[in-house]
Structure 1
């Protein structure tokens, strides 16, 4: 069989896998850091008050732009994959995509209307070139170790979520606490570092990912080899190999059919899963008890510090392992990677110190409001709580700002207050040192945290004798996702129909995110692996693009179905709304498992 030379890959190993996998791991990590970091800021920036640099858009306007952006981000990979397959090769496509995204983040940091939209356009185009093609290279690292491919993609997926975790945590924090342009700029800095790191390490892949050549003969040889490999797996595979004698074209068509069917089922998965950015966020904001006092508040601060430091320490350990294996051959790439982690540790240290210095202050002020009965304006005394790391004394006069025009107040220091016309003067009534409010956005990091913690376990399972077939993995993932929504449905049962607020325990959201993450580990990285395994060699990039196209459709469906939360909740309650997202994934999971024999037969030996 003809094969792509992978001498560096064969010589350099990290934790039993090709060292090139971890170059891709960190490249993808910084790309996801930039993507999720910017995404965490996008809506907040658009709806925030002009006094703190926002554009004061309505929620509807901001979410509409958000939906268009996230949808297009998953459409352009179809074209980026095709361009890489036919013209540039995967490696050059990744560099081009990373450069465009770096320019996009830099453009958004200027915060003018033109540079903002230009930045979004560059991010959409850059992601199209980057996203499908880095996934394609991962698969080709395992041409001689196909049994390790699922495990390799799971490790790669850990890098994706490490970037998402750090991006949401740090870009969001810097954007809100320091300034929007700093948050957008920070996302760009790490995208740039990821690009440089990949560029100077790309020789580790030898011929993998270079400009495309005629892959037909290689593909036919791979197909025939897979037929022979089928005898290693099961009696059914032996029978299939002995009796069908399918032509390479027939096998290609069958495998493409399997990709199409699995992509169809991912729509049901992501349609429900992406409620994390919609209905689950609303549940966190409006229906979850997020106020902690006394020892609970102190414990949360400590735990939050731990869950920030431990994943970063784990990833730093992976970095050290990569250094040991590759520094002699790829020193410059490693220097940039080391620099990026030095910056990250510095920002994390600053953030932790700021959190431990933050206190809650009860304040009072008079504000003009509209009387709902008389529709006339009148002054009303308001008491609320703000949080800041600035030292403020009781009875001190301060300035605050309603950052969302909905009663969310933020402390303004003297310099900022002098530039804000809509500031409100208030008086400090009491210092509440042992009270904190868990941000609604905080729950968003749980998914990435659980990925980092559980990805190594799933990777080991996929390498063991207990590794199930693709349809079974997908079925398990969908059922786990549905059970997560079942937890939310159960937790919402006590909420009256039509209620706008409630105080449900945080444990329900935490358990839901855990189950959703376990389901994701059984679907998403495994799906990437099977697209790589089943795609013809000359269509790998395109098929990854199609795979992400299904995700684009799912994102649109998630927004459309989630928009009915108020109408459905008024009719059958919030519990009924979440039960819908319990039933659909579970039903889809049972159906794909029922198709197990049909699909595995058409995979022709791929397991």
Structure 2
């Protein structure tokens, strides 16, 4: 279908659903309202996550809780497990009771209260735990339902849907990038409660800009009663077209087997990948040389300043384009988003100037977590072009490549830490090893994560899509739990063997899983029965 025909189909879809038809960068303005809402939510989530284990293991003299790394990793495991479990419940609540828009608003409000509670951790530990509970509950309401609204903006056959989710994905990574950088910096340099509180401020702004712009979405994501009535009317009008094509049972069975195998192998990937918030953060904090002097310090200051300022320039430009289209009709949405940007610009400029004036350059331990988002933003287009024009193996083969690349990343860490003595609790290893590890991990993620979501969608029978996606998220929850619990053994393995052996375990497991999956890929490709 030609571009002009696609635009016409999209326009009819928007008009039918009473959605605002103004566009920005060729997409409905509603996409960018969702973009900024999701950006601030990811800012708050990853900003808090960057600080969580660091705060727990920090000394009491530095206002931390002085937990052991084992205890901190175990709490991290439980927290991330529940974060991935609750979206299943949140999706059901939205489907049956609230509708998507109200679920997003309630989720954002609950998370705002969660961050506020964590900012009060100095008053008492109960506020900290209450904050975690509220964040888990709010995330469950927010995460699955905002993505659902993105999908509803476009007709099923729209070629623009893929690019819309790519733009939305960039919002996720932009928020994660800025949240880790700024909340992490303020939390480590100024005070933990300031970092936790900053995360909540921007979650609040995200909620306000969505609230005052929600009528842009017309009928999409409205209350369940209205949605049900509209669906019934649509089904009566289009029943022949809406019926699912009958497939032989063996084909359905084979495709479900492929989904099950890919889901199983994804657990090995995410179990290792999610070491970023636990053991890799411990490595950055305790084993990495983070004090820079001379030309290295100057170079880092300029690189860090560029990483802080340039994303904000691009995001401010996107906000300006959106404002031109909707400020007259939805002024409060733009005003609150602009106010949030004004605050974030102030914090960013303050941070840059503070670092340039500092006598000593110390890279924060949380800083390294921005590398994943940075590499995704810079490499995503390159990988897409590679799959399109150079090398495009089957989905299972891409999965296998992703697992191997992840293992190589941990191999880099194992090699870089080879000289750390057995049982050592601190060391001064070059930061290049951590940077390279994040590079390989991100390349692995780009091979596996988008492919996984795409194949689950393509291979699932239409009447089971929701259930199967639920199992996909369940596997991520299990992986996060296993990842956190395995990270809790870092001190025991280091004491018995070495920190290098600990990372070698995460080298071997993904690579072995990847080799097995690569061997299975020709069989799995046949089992997909034509799905590519």
TM-score (normalizing by structure 2): 0.83
TM superposition shift of 1:518: 1.9
Equivalent residue for 1:520, pick from 432, 438, 445: 445
1:343/1:469 CA distance change after superposition, 3 Å:
farther
Cα 1:468–1:310 change in 2 (3 A) is farther
User: 1:369-408, aligned counterparts within 5 Å?
Assistant: none
Cα distance 1:473–1:489, how it changes in 2: closer, same or farther (>3 A)?
Answer: same
Q: Kindly state the Cα deviation for residue 455 of structure 1 after the two structures are TM-superposed.
A: 3.2
Shifted more, 72-81 versus 324-333: the winner is 324-333
Question: Do residues 489 (structure 1) and 489 (structure 2) align?
Answer: no
Q: What are the Cα deviations for residues 420-445 of structure 1, in whole angstroms up to 9, with x where unaligned?
A: xxxxxxxxxxxxxxxx3323322122
Q: Structure 1, residues 482-514: CA drift from partner, whole Å, max 9, x if none?
A: 221222233334445555544432222111111
Partner of 1:108: 118
Q: Distance in 2 between matches of 1:480 and 1:9?
A: 43
Q: 1:477 to 1:19 in 2, by over 3 A?
A: farther
Supply the distance in 2 between the matched residues of 1:251 and 1:13 (Cα, whole angstroms).
Answer: 41
Q: Measure how far apart 1:354 and its partner are.
A: 1.4
Match of 2:297 in 1: 297
Q: Does 1:209 align with 2:215?
A: no
* Deviations 1:41-72 (CA, angstroms, capped at 9, x unpaired): 33344444556654454544444333322221
User: Does the CA contact (< 8 Å) of 1:85 and 1:542 recur in 2?
Assistant: no
Measured after TM superposition, the shift of residue 80 of structure 1 is 1.1
Cα distance in 2, alignment partners of residues 528 and 457 from structure 1? 19
Higher-Rg structure is 1
8 Å Cα contact 1:104/1:119 also seen in 2: yes
Matches within 5 A, 1:562-601: 562-569=487-494, 573-596=498-521, 599=524
SS in 1 for 2:220: coil
Q: Which has the larger share of helix? A: 2
List gaps (5 residues or longer) in structure 1.
228-244, 361-435
1-side partners of 2:384 and 2:266: how far apart? 20
Equivalent position of 2:104 in the other structure: 94
After superposition, what is the alpha-carbon deviation per residue over 1:147-195, rounded to whole angstroms, capped at 9, x for unaligned? 5544443332222121112112212222334433332222111111111
SS of 2:429's equivalent?
coil
In the alignment, is residue 476 of structure 1 matched against residue 401 of structure 2? yes
Q: Is contact 2:70–2:487 with CA below 8 Å preserved after alignment? A: no
Q: Choose the corresponding residue for 2:90, options 80, 99, 103.
A: 80
How is 1:6-25 mapped onto 2 (pairs within 5 angstroms)?
Answer: 6-7=14-15, 11-25=21-35
How has the CA–CA distance of structure 1 residues 456 and 193 changed in structure 2, closer, same or farther, with 3 Å as cutoff?
A: farther
Counterpart Cα distance in 1 of 2:239 and 2:69: 50
User: Which residue matches 1:509?
Assistant: 434
Bigger shift: 55-64 or 163-172?
A: 55-64
| Equivalent of residue 442 in structure 1, options 360, 367, 372 | 367
| 1:377-416 CA distance string (max 9 Å, x none) | xxxxxxxxxxxxxxxxxxxxxxxxxxxxxxxxxxxxxxxx
Normalising by structure 1, we get a TM-score of 0.74
Contact in 1 for aligned 2:181/2:366 (Cα 8 Å): no
2:87–2:144 contact (8 Å) kept in structure 1:
yes
Q: Deviations over 1:175-223 (max 9, x none)?
A: 3344333322221111111112222333444443332536896899457
* Structure 2 unaligned regions, length at least 5: 1-8
Alpha carbons 2:82, 2:136 under 8 Å: kept: yes
Q: CA deviation at 1:348?
A: 0.5
Q: Is the 8 A contact 1:135 1:528 kept in 2?
A: no
Deviation at 1:553, TM superposition (A): 0.9
**1:464, 1:219 → 2: CA distance?**
39
CA 1:547/1:438 → structure 2, altered by over 3 Å: closer, same or farther? Answer: same
Q: Secondary structure at the match of 1:75?
A: helix
Preserved contact between residue 5 and residue 206 of structure 1 (Cα < 8 Å):
no
RMSD across aligned positions (CA): 3.5
Offset, 1:521: 2.4
2:43 match: 33
What is the CA–CA distance in structure 1 between the aligned matches of 2:263 and 2:43, rounded to whole Å?
Answer: 25
Q: For residues 467 and 9 of structure 1, what CA distance do their matches in structure 2 show?
A: 37
Partner Cα distance (2:187, 2:438) in 1: 25
Q: 1:115 to 1:509 in 2, by over 3 A?
A: closer
Contact 2:258 2:524 in 1 (8 A): yes
